[in-house]
Structure 1
Amino acid sequence: MKLDAWKQAYFGEQMPACALQGHWASFRLVDETGSGKAYGGLPFTVHDSTGRRYVGKLNGEGFASLQDFYCGPVVLTLDDLYNGIEEPYYLLSTRKTYKLPITELQVRAERTFYSGNDGIRAERSSAHHQTDRFYQVEVSDLVRHSAHLPPLASSVHRPKRHVLKMMADLGFGPPQPSLSGVVLFPNQHSVLEVRPLRALRPVLSTEDSFCALNLYQLALFSALSYCDFGQVPSEKPLDEVLFPLDPSVGNLFAEQLSVYHEAWQIDPEQTQRFYPLYEEVPYSQRFEILPFDPELYPQNRPELNEEQEHPARLHFFDDEKFGTDTQAFIIHHDEVILISVRGTVSRADVLRDADAHQVAFVDGVGKAHDGFHQAYRAMRNFVLQYLDRFHIGQRIVICGHSLGGAIALLLAEGLRRTPDAHYNILLYTYGAPRAADTEFTAGASSLVHHRIVNHNDPVPSVPAPWMNTTAKLWIPGAITLFSAPASGGLLFAAGLVRVGGNPYQHHGEQHHFMPITLPDGTHSSVLWKPGCESIQEAGCNRTLQLQGDMPDRDNLLRQLFQAGQHFMTTSYIPAAWATLRRWQQTLDSQGPLVTPREFELLDRALEDMREKLRAKRREFARQRPANDRSYEPIDALNAEIDRLHTSRERLATLRWRRLEARDVYGSHAQSAHLQSSLKRWFSHRENCEVAQFASIPPPSHNDQGRVQMLDVDSIV
């Protein structure tokens, strides 16, 4: 009986699909160089058209042949699980939850490399390999469970999946509930070029000390927290999940970096390219998005309904449904767990930011900003559950911008105090407001926190140390401030009351971007540690004249209209990039961190600031009550003038300071991969700044994306 026409390409009339023996097939697994040594000795399984099973091992060159099997195509799989003890494979395959079905084939593929530096497979002809059939295959083509493996790459030499499906429909091949394997045709030699399992991983230093690398990298990931997770379907997936939304958290880690693609976009409307510094790693050492496989993991099964687990629920915290609207993502590899907390976006964020009343910090000492504390408590269990499953001693790196930085501080301190956990926390925040009082700050003194402030960013100025605020009057003032600044400002001021307690105080070591103009007219900045509140608060904001118990808000309102310096993709990220380039160039030249001309400009700005403080002191002196020798505003000004003098001395040290590699690259300073990572990073023209010291790239006309909201942290 003749086969239908659609079947004749595979089972012709001269080769009927019947149980006749006497046929052969040979095959070879190779890497991108055409060598099969990487796959030598691998066990394989072949099923013929009757379902008969053949097992064997590839020879030292990755070659195998079959003789005298039943007529028709056969299906090849290499599904034997890895049985060694090498890390991280052993840990990943034996961990308590989401054990990965890592195969020997996967381990071998992770030890191969792309022939080019871009991770793109070259299109080769079958004639080049002197073979009957040539396929470019993935590990996932040859194994049963593939949810933890990267997405398929397109190629003209991909094996035809419909052939496998057709065999299954006809009842040929191996008995299996899901389609896996590559079809080999009889009496032919096939070469299977396996795509290397290599990934890109953002480089992060795990050292306590500040470095320019983390400054830049964590600025990017703080901004990424404003993106969606990007999973489709976002809820109640049935059999698989995808991450098509670019940019999104899931797309970056699961779709792009896992297939060696250098992603740069962290905002849908971003046009300037800021590439993270990536290192090439074996796939199993990437930042992991956990797999979704209902067959393998019972917790993924759809019938669990609200209890069903999937990647979005595991990695992404979004509390929009429950009132705080807090958003964060968490992800890990074998050395780092990264947590990034989002800043202000929604109306719920606005109302939370407005609630500056102090409440007891329940997981430590002191008091915290009530709105920030509510957000921290909302996400605490989400983070702890993740750490309980996947923390194996990694450094926990937490970052956040604005409101996200304030929540990140409370989270970091809460985790540090978790009983018997011994979490090792490293915190970087950008433009964060004050989150807690002096008692909290003292109690958290051992928490490593690098606090980044851009010049004249208004947000770090608030809540002011004297604030402990009721929301009854000033919440509407906050909302109307920018639509009607005068009336909004009055409502804002009228709602401020002092109710006692310890004052708000910043935590951590401040790193401040001081702006400068380079000789060619472009703008740059010098990052330094002034140790002076007046610089952070752009002049006299800290020592505003008091009228009874109410502050004069004029200076703060003027400052708010310079709030462009609070945005990430147009402010903090460009300044962090320029700092990394400046420090790289300084390290290469072994020159000073600032030139004499730059020092002169910065010193002049500091002297001008000191004169303003002196003028304010004279004004207070005229107002001092008779016989009051310890007038508090004057005492505060005197202390601030002294700190400003110390800051000028610190600035002077930049003229002779010489950088070491650890100042720039932290724990990666002596890493074997650093030079190859830098070569890849400098291959992008955006990173090839040749000026003596890198200028800050000006924002493009369209760079006003979602991550650049003016958040109402600014007016708390």
Structure 2
Amino acid sequence: MNQEARKQAFFSSNMPACALKGHWASFCLVDETGSGKAYGGLAYTVYDSTGHSYNGRLTGEGFAKLQGFYCGPVVLILEGLYAGNEQPYFELSTRKTYKLPITELQARAEQTRFCTPDGQRIEGNPAQRKADRFYQVEVRDLVRHVAHLPPLAPRTYPPQRHALRMMAELGFGPPQPTLSGVVLFPNLHTVLEVRPLRALRPMLSTEDRFCALNLYQLALMATLSYCDFGQQPPTNPVDQVSFPLDPGIGNLFVEKLSAYQEAWNVDREQVQRFYPLYEEVPYSQRFEIVPFDPDVYPQNRSELGAKQEHPALVHFFNDEQFGTDTQAFITHHAEVILIAVRGTASGADALRDADAHQVPFSDGVGKAHKGFYQAYLAMRDFILRYLEQFHSGQRIVICGHSLGGAIALLLAEGLRRIPDTQYNILLYTYGAPRAADAEFTEGASALVHHRIVNHNDPVPSVPATWMNTTAKLWVPGVVALFSAPGPGGLLFAAGLVRVGSSPYQHHGEQQHFMPIKLADGTHSSVLWTPGCESILQAGCNRALQLQGDMPNRANVLKQLFQASQHFMTASYIPAAWATLRRWQQTVDSQGPLVTQREFELLDRALESMTAQLRDKNRELDRRRPSNQRGYGHEHSQALNAEIDRLRTSRQRLESLRWRRLDARDVYGSHADRAHLQPSLKRWFSHRENRELAQVASIPAPIHDGSGKVHPLDLDAIV
């Protein structure tokens, strides 16, 4: 072969593949700092133009040199599977279903770090100066099975994929069903900068105790449950799937967080930015969405038809076609299984679900709201299938908003009572209605449930404690009750009256957002645990008053549906964000949880409620015959008990003036972990989170309107 021929391009009419030996190539795998130590000792395979393979190991500095191969480019592959016992790699590669083909290269790349906090590629790698060719590569460039790996990130120096494709088309190199590997050109030194394989995951505390971190994070996840999963194609995929819908459940966990991109949008109409607190983790420790690869997983093959599995069927439950309109998503990592349940978002057939009739809770004790129970039954098998495949002792964290909160409660208790499973469940609900009776509540006392209520949200006040009949019978009664509230607007007093042996009753410890107006006119809220029911009923009453309800108005239920305090991005999420900021600042300043001014405002409201209950008690007594007055009426016991609970609530409030918070109140199980400060630094880098006021105020809506982000579910109201 003459010298002029050597100068020609490899693929040309002058020089096809030459079968002469004697060529060399060297290469080095490095991280973003230019060091190759992370990849030292890795086994590699190189294929030359004849398909002959050369095996070896990188030096301790990640370097290798190959000599004497046939003329032309070669293909480098590092697909040796991980063979160690380190977790979570061993668990992921040996589990019962969806075993992941984790390579040693992947495990090494997960232990490297980005040079920039945002994960953007850097320019000027020190090793680049020593290279004849420099490529920015990812693990998926160098291995054969890539469905479980993140999408490619933008890069300035990509490997020459066209050369790999041309070699395959000409029949050079290794036979392979898909294009794998990186082409190295002969008689050149190539440096491969391997992108760190890191991901972001929302931080969730696994402790029983309530914390501001979970309050905020799970409010975002509960809102995300209203989004579609967003898989394309949505059904019957053939060779691959994608998740382009933003916001979407799949897009968040696969396209954004897996690719180390911070995401804030959890609802289609969201304008204000509420960033979750993310921790940086090795890619294998992210919240997982299972891969789709028919070559690796027989259950993914399209010829299975209706029995085919794909990510949407594994992680997303949508019962819209079968009657309950229940929706939920589930995902997991080594410490947490996260389940988020959506309430009914459609209104056309919502009154069909307006059935407060109680039915036996077959998986435990007591009775449950029929409509909520039917939704729980619809999704129960879906959740159990997932847990059977992926539960390995994690804390099961469940959240839900509105009707989704009621279903989440039944689901949590149903899972807790399954024999021989020892599921460890933590439940957060937002604006949830009552889901079951007092017997259920007592039987579920061991279930850890933090129930979040926004002050003027009417939904938690229903079904009222006296409801246990069909919608056609009790809805007119509710309208009559609400359209004639009586002196002083004491709608809430009626909700305190308990009739029957098994009344509806809330489960869990209530965490209540009590609104306050700050000295500068901005609005905020204080989160506390009142321990009484009057606040719920007063919130329902106030919602009607704010909407201008008149005695003769027949569509009073519709008034309730318009209560903006029930929405997540307009109400619960801003209040949760304000609480997190408030508690952060309280820990930093070592100040009280409630200031003197705030105590006075809240105490005045409780005092007013107490006075109204006493007045109502006396009024009911005066209605009795004169010879029976003073001996108590049929509702006096219930009203007196509530007056006592209000007294206890005021004592709880007063204790908050002296309470000091610690880091575990704010961050739960993350309080002492090394990643907390880097995670906070990332979170505070967004201007939306740098509120320096002594008390964090609820951010004002950016747009007009109530901030509606999805329809209020009618069946939750009733």
Q: Sort the TM-score into its range (normalised by shorter chain).
A: over 0.9
Match of 1:269 in 2: 269
What displacement does 1:155 show? 1.3
613-622 or 9-18: bigger deviation? 9-18
Match of 1:710 in 2: 712
Match of 1:194 in 2: 194
Structural mapping, 1:139-150, within 5 Å: 139-150=139-150
256-265 or 634-643: bigger deviation? 634-643
Aligned mates of 2:552, 2:646 — CA distance in 1: 23
Judge conservation of contact 2:461–2:540 (CA < 8 Å) in 1: no
Match of 2:356 in 1: 356
1:589 aligns with 2:589: yes
Aligned mates of 2:513, 2:675 — CA distance in 1: 30
Distance 1:702 1:81, change over 3 A: farther
Match of 1:531 in 2: 531
Match of 1:47 in 2: 47
Match of 1:633 in 2: 635
- The SS at the match of 1:404 is helix
Q: One-letter code of the match for 2:37?
A: K
600-609 or 466-475: bigger deviation? 466-475
Match of 2:212 in 1: 212
Distance 1:562 1:475, change over 3 A: closer
Distance 1:336 1:22, change over 3 A: same
Aligned mates of 1:702, 1:143 — CA distance in 2: 51
What displacement does 1:701 show? 1.0
Judge conservation of contact 1:11–1:72 (CA < 8 Å) in 2: no
Judge conservation of contact 2:400–2:429 (CA < 8 Å) in 1: yes
Judge conservation of contact 2:416–2:423 (CA < 8 Å) in 1: yes
Aligned mates of 1:461, 1:312 — CA distance in 2: 35
Judge conservation of contact 1:402–1:713 (CA < 8 Å) in 2: no
What displacement does 1:715 show? 3.5
Judge conservation of contact 2:564–2:707 (CA < 8 Å) in 1: no
Q: One-letter code of the match for 1:275?
A: Y
Aligned mates of 2:597, 2:126 — CA distance in 1: 63
Percent identity of equivalent pairs: 75
Judge conservation of contact 1:522–1:695 (CA < 8 Å) in 2: yes
- The SS at the match of 1:16 is coil
Structural mapping, 1:326-341, within 5 Å: 326-341=326-341
Match of 1:490 in 2: none
Aligned mates of 1:514, 1:270 — CA distance in 2: 24
Q: One-letter code of the match for 2:698?
A: I
Q: One-letter code of the match for 1:61?
A: E
Match of 1:493 in 2: none
Distance 1:702 1:45, change over 3 A: farther
Aligned mates of 1:83, 1:267 — CA distance in 2: 42
Distance 1:229 1:631, change over 3 A: same
Match of 1:371 in 2: 371
Judge conservation of contact 2:562–2:712 (CA < 8 Å) in 1: no
Match of 1:470 in 2: 470
Distance 1:303 1:706, change over 3 A: farther
Match of 1:492 in 2: none
Aligned mates of 2:243, 2:620 — CA distance in 1: 60
Match of 2:678 in 1: 676
What displacement does 1:11 show? 2.3
What displacement does 1:249 show? 0.4
Judge conservation of contact 1:350–1:712 (CA < 8 Å) in 2: yes
Structural mapping, 1:67-466, within 5 Å: 67-124=67-124, 128-347=128-347, 350-351=350-351, 353-466=353-466
13-22 or 385-394: bigger deviation? 13-22
Aligned mates of 1:266, 1:200 — CA distance in 2: 16
Q: One-letter code of the match for 2:666?
A: V
Q: One-letter code of the match for 1:17?
A: A
What displacement does 1:350 show? 1.6
Q: One-letter code of the match for 1:682?
A: F
Aligned mates of 2:556, 2:664 — CA distance in 1: 38
Aligned mates of 2:691, 2:166 — CA distance in 1: 56
Aligned mates of 2:118, 2:349 — CA distance in 1: 41
What displacement does 1:181 show? 0.4
Alignment deviations for residues 609-630 of structure 1 (CA, whole Å, 9 cap, x no partner):
2222222222211113453734
Alignment deviations for residues 277-329 of structure 1 (CA, whole Å, 9 cap, x no partner):
01100000000000000000000000001100000000000011111111000
Match of 1:654 in 2: 656
Judge conservation of contact 1:267–1:705 (CA < 8 Å) in 2: no
Judge conservation of contact 1:540–1:613 (CA < 8 Å) in 2: no
What displacement does 1:257 show? 0.4
What displacement does 1:705 show? 6.8
The aligned length equals 690
Unpaired stretches in structure 2, ≥5 consecutive residues: 2-6, 485-494, 545-550
- The SS at the match of 1:415 is helix
Aligned mates of 1:503, 1:553 — CA distance in 2: 28
What displacement does 1:387 show? 0.2
Q: One-letter code of the match for 2:702?
A: S
Alignment deviations for residues 623-669 of structure 1 (CA, whole Å, 9 cap, x no partner):
13453734222222111111111111111011100001111111111
Q: One-letter code of the match for 2:410?
A: L
TM-score between both structures, scaled by the size of structure 1: 0.92
Judge conservation of contact 1:353–1:403 (CA < 8 Å) in 2: no
Aligned mates of 1:622, 1:477 — CA distance in 2: 24
Judge conservation of contact 1:27–1:191 (CA < 8 Å) in 2: yes
Distance 1:499 1:539, change over 3 A: closer
Q: One-letter code of the match for 1:656?
A: W
Structural mapping, 1:552-563, within 5 Å: 560=560, 563=563
What displacement does 1:197 show? 0.3
Judge conservation of contact 1:539–1:612 (CA < 8 Å) in 2: no
Q: One-letter code of the match for 1:667?
A: S
Distance 1:559 1:532, change over 3 A: farther
Match of 2:547 in 1: none
Distance 1:552 1:385, change over 3 A: farther
What displacement does 1:130 show? 2.8
Judge conservation of contact 2:569–2:708 (CA < 8 Å) in 1: no
Match of 1:491 in 2: none
Alignment deviations for residues 546-603 of structure 1 (CA, whole Å, 9 cap, x no partner):
xxxxx99999869827711110001000000000000000001111011111111111
1:665 aligns with 2:680: no
Aligned mates of 2:49, 2:240 — CA distance in 1: 29
Alignment deviations for residues 258-288 of structure 1 (CA, whole Å, 9 cap, x no partner):
1111100001111100000011000000000
313-322 or 704-713: bigger deviation? 704-713
- The SS at the match of 2:637 is helix
What displacement does 1:500 show? 5.3
Judge conservation of contact 2:582–2:696 (CA < 8 Å) in 1: yes
What displacement does 1:51 show? 0.3
- The SS at the match of 1:537 is helix
- The SS at the match of 1:614 is helix
What displacement does 1:704 show? 6.2
Aligned mates of 1:461, 1:171 — CA distance in 2: 72
Structural mapping, 1:538-557, within 5 Å: 538=538
What displacement does 1:129 show? 2.7
1:699 aligns with 2:701: yes
Aligned mates of 2:40, 2:705 — CA distance in 1: 52
Aligned mates of 1:668, 1:256 — CA distance in 2: 23
- The SS at the match of 2:136 is strand
Alignment deviations for residues 31-57 of structure 1 (CA, whole Å, 9 cap, x no partner):
011111100110000000000000001
What displacement does 1:60 show? 0.9
Match of 2:24 in 1: 24
Distance 1:555 1:650, change over 3 A: farther
Distance 1:13 1:67, change over 3 A: farther
Alignment deviations for residues 148-207 of structure 1 (CA, whole Å, 9 cap, x no partner):
000011212111322211111100011112110011111111111011000001100000
Aligned mates of 2:207, 2:129 — CA distance in 1: 48
Unpaired stretches in structure 1, ≥5 consecutive residues: 2-6, 488-495, 545-550
Aligned mates of 1:125, 1:595 — CA distance in 2: 53
Q: One-letter code of the match for 2:628?
A: N
Match of 2:548 in 1: none
Judge conservation of contact 2:23–2:71 (CA < 8 Å) in 1: yes
